[in-house]
Amino acid sequence: MLVPQIVLNKPTTPINLALLVIEVDTRASRIQVLDRGTGQLQAHLPIYSPKLFKFLPIEYASRPNLMVIMIDDTNVFNAAIADNVQAQIIDLVTFDPNDLPTAQ
């Protein structure tokens, strides 16, 4: 019996994305990432680590047009906002998650 062989070729053309690295206060409960021009919600994440990572469309790596809001659901702390945030550009073809900065 012949078994077909599947060959996956790794792309050579860069696939660019934006990577947002967010350092957060672990006393907060969640964060929201908004496009500051349109107000559109780009991410809503629970806080599970002092550093969070989120892939976003490439346009967020070209200029600082994000707003990050840190929210405390226990109502002990006020919300904290970081304005004019810019993601970094990464190439998905050469991206290695082991190279991401680790939480300290």
Fold of 16-94: Immunoglobulin-like (2.60.40)
Give pLDDT tens digits for 65-81.
999 999 999 989 899 99
Q: How confident is the model at residue 104 (pLDDT cuts 50, 70, 90)?
A: very low
What's the pTM? 0.79
Residue 94, strand partner residues: none
Burial of residue 35, with CB atoms counted within 10 A of its CB: 0-12 exposed, 13-18 middle, 19 or more buried: middle
Q: How confident is the model at residue 1 (pLDDT cuts 50, 70, 90)?
A: low
When comparing pLDDT for 82 and 9, which is higher? Answer: 82
CA geometry: angle 55, 89, 98, nearest 5 deg: 65
Give pLDDT tens digits for 13-65.
888 999 999 999 888 999 999 999 999 999 999 998 898 999 999 999 999 99
